[in-house]
Structure 1
């Protein structure tokens, strides 16, 4: 080295010194710095004066010198080095994509020199990311069913590099909304909870798609819109299962002939989609109904009425079927039936013979021997099946009649007959007259039962009496004349008299009558020769 003299000037007004010769600042410029990253700076300052100088390094606000800031007695021409660092802030990003860092060195009793270093920083980005997750599990472990609840948790993260304020979070499916006052970059909100119940529309779609979104204000709201990445969840839903059932029940009753049976018909959608245009028909009554739409779980109750017939009684049971036909959401036909079987009352093949006396005894008290008793006879079917070929007979008179057909509850026309009181009736003290009937078997195995018609009429008490009349031709008879007498024996009672002995005291003639019925008479003749003059009435 050849010793010499260093002549340094700090420049003039017209010709200032190049600051790059006095102070330099550098950093790793191979990258673009992001929010929160630290930029490490190297600072080099050279003493441009010809004598030793104290040098003071100063940084702008926001930059921290991490090395020495003051250097003492720095020799002329000597360069000193220090370091500094700066953390990229949101304010830096808002200013643009270049961060300019100004550094200065001051010489005591000298000038102050400045220089800059430009740092590339990321572009401003106002962005929110909605985080959504499903926190429930399907009951069957695989897919959600109609009416099942899906539970969600939602939060919002500021995934940009600028603070976002007045954030409104919205779940589009449930309609729930929440508000977040502000989120700094990288900050995540509190967790919000919501739930959704699976609908028929979801079943038809096969999935539940749920999107949660948000909106907020960026610091540069006039020039920069806040972008949003929504939170989307898609959950599998059970497949469409169109189905309905028809339930038919008869209300309780005795189920007798002519009784009205009330049927309750329920059409229930036990599937997971609506059934439309359902036509319901009661096969027994012929009633029809239309159900426009039956939603899952919904039911419609219908009522039909039916009057029990004789055929039902004969069949022994009443089977009633209700049929229904509808369409699923895809237009496919679905048919179902529901039946009810009830047992009506048992077959009751039964009739009553009604018999009444329509005459009165002549004495107003009791009938006498030979007096006529008049009757009227009808037959009533008091059972529950029609009787055919009903043969009616009056046992006492022997009269008979035929009724071709007698329906339940029907009474036949009136049959008339009469009977004359006999000695037997007098002895019995009354006339008992019974009318009865028979008819064809039901189903060739059930013989109809009958209650006979019976009438008993009082008859006068038994009177055993015989009247004897004797007469001859009136006149005067001479001695020696023969008089012929007629003797008449009359039963003037009401019972037969037996062993009657007749004696003519004048002639001595005798006769015997074995039996003489009421009203019957026997005539005998006897002769007598007159022995002295006398009138016939004196004999």
Structure 2
């Protein structure tokens, strides 16, 4: 609100101005003194932006004879009707009536009174001098002016009746009988320490005291001015309309404005929308909205408050005799408020920015978009640049629909319409085009295949378990083609590729394509219904494949491929059938089309297998100590190395029967067959079967006839399953030497040859015997651990024989010895058995005739270890009576011993003198090879020769004799050094002549 400053001046000047104005019509405080009014009349008139107008007649003024100042004359008792101006013009005038007395009268023109009246109160005083006092600088005075009757609201009570002090108050009686108390002068006098008449009595008067108290505690009193803040509000976009920021009306709560809204404007106050006209009170806030289509600013007409602006003017003066006596001449003047106008810059614009990229992050250029304002229809076009961006300015705020008009090659063109909301701050739209991902998947499954029934993303989930088909059966493969990509595939080929193994079991040209679950052959031009209900046209059908016109993203279609097995088909392995899918797509979303093949991956082919009913049994047998073999696929692989067993031991054979076919078998029987030689070594009646987890003994009659070697191993045996039993035989205690003994087992069973082969328990009714082959028989061999010893003896002069396999062969020619000579016997002990011999005892025995001519005999050497022919060290123990014990002699090894007999000095001629050697050991079964003999002849004449190249008699110097131990060790050492082996020398001192044995 525009405020006006009071113009200072003295009372004299004011009064002079009033008197002068009567004649000249000049303005007083914005008013005009009009001399055309009748005498004694007072009227007020307020004009726009004026203080008011006072009109006095010349007779109403007179001059002070002392000072020469002009002042209003005493007013008559009656007044002419006051003129109401704007309903709020109030004049409260205090004036001087004569040089010694002040008169006070109040005029109120907002009561619509036809005959206003006033009363006069004498105020003591004398000649005065004036001084202008501005009440605007005193807040309390301004409050009093407003809160008194002069103001817009009175805090006085109405209709109090006449009391003692009633004449002492200014009041106006309305025609309706209401009394309005003119309290302004009383309050102002009290504030400025003045007194009027019996002023102290006024203050003591209850209504006056109540007025003062009310003035002091009143807070909300100002009714001055109106203004809207901010003066130039900003505009922005919200909820589909243009709206201003919050506007606040600064005015007294009793004041307000009325806004007339046009052109689609709305006001929102306290959440309530208003159209047409809205009233806003002082202290309230609101905002305006306009349609987005409004493009021009809105300038409202001048808006005035419901209450006029008020100016409080006060004039105070002092008497010349008493400077401290201050009295007031007060003017309470209302003027019309300054108008406000709203200037709102509607028509805000926004900016649309757009970026275009592929799902792979690549910026896409030259893509055209159109933008259409959803409300106004305004249109704009954008085209992306090298960076994939585009923008346009000056768009009307609101909802816009963005449509992509041209796509980017290799990327899907979106069909949806993007809605964006453009505000004064702009809007950014990021559009991502999904990169074309052409992909096809094919899934294949034979009718009896199980384990993979769920189809996800064009592929079967789970492990396929092939079904069984008898020879001559029809086999139907379901083929499902699925578009797993995001772009339509065209020219979709499905091609069958049966494996070479399957082809050889199929009837020639039996393969046909048909509608799924129908036997009719597919025809060119036939229409199929896809999984999504879309039509798919068959463009071509060949022996190997089917051509489909198109397949939309996420859609699928199924067909069947049917073949017929040969009537004599028989195959153990699963037979494979492969299908492949191919197609092409248009990589350009615009024109012209750019065809590309759908890339190949692991999903564009699939396979399934079938089984032709083929029964097969395998049996595997292994003795407990056999090594070198492992069980694989029902048979032992690798070389079986037979184990060793002793006489009297039990031999356990583990026998495993396996269903190596592809159908269940029933009544599985095992028959164990012993080799004749093994059967002879087995204890009769002791052989038996063992079965179960702990291989419990099974009575033979459980498998058939008592004593039979056949047993029922299993009622049912599924493909790939096996059953294991043991067959035990007991070797006799005197089981002789046999290198390899064989035991054979045979397995038999039946199977179902029906059209349907089910895997499960139970025995079907139609049964055939499982065909025999080499895998339903197996055998294993064993060895009985038997060391075998051979002894060979040879005198040093014996000729005509040679050593062979541990024994001498040929015709022995006896050697001749003379009295006193030594006879050396070489004894060879050989283990020709299949196991080591432990505790081998070698004993040399002479016949009685020879003993008579021998003075002594002994084994040469006392070493504890001898080296065998195989280089092994053998521990030797020498005993009395011509016996030697060897700790161990391995199979195939041998050792030589030297036994020396010394002939007496005198011998008779004799021949055929026998010397025998025998060998024995633990676990060795005695036989004829355990003993060997040799013979010598004697001459009675002594000859000084020594066997082995020694010359001279047996008593020659240096000869080693029985009982002479001094040089024995030396001799043994020499022999060892010369021969590289261990030799025992037998020294025989001849005491009689050799006699030829007759």
Return the TM-score normalized by structure 1. Answer: 0.32
**Highest CA radius of gyration, 1 or 2?**
2
Task: Give the structure with the larger helix fraction.
Answer: 2
